[in-house]
Structure 1
Amino acid sequence: MSDTSGISAAGAVYRHVKDRVLTGDLEGGRMVSEGEVSSTLGVSRTPVREAFLRLEVEGWLRLFPKRGALVLPVAPHEIDEVLDARALLESHAAADVVTRPDDLAALVDALDAAIEAQRTSHEAGDLPGYTEADAEFHRLVAESGRNSLLAGFYRTLRERQQRMTADSVRGRTAAAATVLDEHRVLRDLLAAGDVAGFGRGLVEHLDHTHRPHSHGGTR
């Protein structure tokens, strides 16, 4: 990577490190050094330092002088808040879209495509692709409602959602397969216009995926 522009180099470093955090390649609790990133990307330490500062402001890293940056784990209260918000927004959108048969049919087709992309990524062992398809499935539901303000708010949760999914299914092949099965069930409930069933299934799905210990699950 060329280091001819401090701004563009810092932006590229920021995107690289953030993507690794979101996909779980850089797990919560891991230390990452400026030198490591500088060497990997072929840039000086200055843009790396700038990118680290930006990521610290956003809450992804905590900087320690002369030691590097700690990737902050997802806090339990953050998990609860994100899941509560997602359940409310997706259920609200589902109640709206089922009143519009043509839009519902289009949504179901799009959900089928997202499920297929997630299945393909799962079979290939592609965790970033898997989490991206997972986020896309839920985004499609959330944005199927006609409230643009709620849809906009939901988009702000996407990055945290993707990271939480990576944390939840990493190294848990059975859990990753269960997520796919539950997506198929949610798709079928929507296709049938069962809003109440979808709402219940969604809450159970989010709990199973991100709060496995509350259901006796193990990592």
Structure 2
Amino acid sequence: MPTIDSAAERAYAATRTAILDGTHRPGAMLSENELAGRLGMSRTPVRAALARLQDEGWITIYPKRGALVRELGAREIADLADARLILEAMGVQRATSEVRRALADRLEPELDAQRDALVARDIDGFVALTIAFHRSFVEASGNAVLVEIGDRLADRQRLLLSAHRDLLFDRVDETIAEHRALIERLRADDPAGFAEALRAHIMDTHGPELGPV
């Protein structure tokens, strides 16, 4: 028989995943009773899981009403965009010419998979692909600390992309073209041009409501 601690961990993991993949959309109100029934457990571990999620900033608990799934505010989205721009541009700048060109060759074939996911409206598949795509720019630096910082931002990025899935599905060609432009700057061994293309990709096209894709 599972302990309360293990049940709470399971409730936490399942609810957190459902928030990040958009199953529980921003603005949704979660019920302890409904979550407990869905997960096949009592309310006690669910209550513990929700308290932990509130501590991490994913929900806001309203006693006797439920738990509200938080939306990222405009300032949080802007801060996320700034942080990713700095990390990814720095990663490419710190890479050697050989690493930049090899990365371009490796990423080029991935564009077809990204397009296929968007066309199929497979948000989970696309989110995984695009987060890995952008992580590659940070990895190019060879700096484990930069990669660790970038990984800490991945869940916020996943939440943001899942919440704006309809916008992503509406601009398939634009997104793939922007990703291709980033690869072309890598292949040209042009870190300054890469930074400008990345800035446009993050700020100009998507705007503050979406941030980096």
Q: TM-score, normalised by structure 2?
A: 0.89
Deviates more, 1:140-149 or 1:68-77: 140-149
Q: How far 1:177 moved relative to its partner?
A: 4.0
Task: Give me the whole-angstrom Cα distance separating, in 2, the residues matched to 1:12 and 1:80.
Answer: 32
Q: Is the contact made by 1:34 and 1:49 (CA closer than 8 Å) also made in structure 2?
A: yes
Task: Name 2:125's counterpart in structure 1.
Answer: 129
2:195 maps to which of 190, 195, 199: 199
1:27-106 to structure 2, matched below 5 A, reads 27-97=25-95, 99-101=96-98, 103-106=99-102
Task: Name 1:22's counterpart in structure 2.
Answer: 20
Residues 139 and 4 of structure 1: is their aligned pair in 2 closer, same or farther, counting only changes over 3 Å? same
Task: Name 1:168's counterpart in structure 2.
Answer: 164
Q: Is the contact made by 2:26 and 2:69 (CA closer than 8 Å) also made in structure 1?
A: yes
Q: How far 1:124 moved relative to its partner?
A: 2.2
Task: Give me the whole-angstrom Cα distance separating, in 2, the residues matched to 1:147 and 1:71.
Answer: 34
1:135-174 to structure 2, matched below 5 A, reads 135-170=131-166, 172-174=168-170
**What do the CA deviations read for 1:186-215 (whole angstroms, capped 9, x no partner)?**
11211221212211111111122352699x
Secondary structure in 2 aligned to 1:69? strand
Q: Which amino acid aligns with 1:63?
A: I
Identity across matched positions, percent:
34
Whose relative contact order is higher, 1 or 2, with alpha carbons under 8 Å and at least 6 apart?
2
Task: Name 1:107's counterpart in structure 2.
Answer: 103
Task: Give me the whole-angstrom Cα distance separating, in 2, the residues matched to 1:37 and 1:109.
Answer: 45
Secondary structure in 1 aligned to 2:45? helix
Secondary structure in 2 aligned to 1:62? strand
Count of aligned pairs? 210
Question: Does 2:195 match 1:209?
Answer: no
In structure 1, the gaps of 5 or more residues are: 215-219
In structure 2, the gaps of 5 or more residues are: none
Aligned-residue CA RMSD in angstroms?
Answer: 2.1
Q: TM-score, normalised by structure 1?
A: 0.87
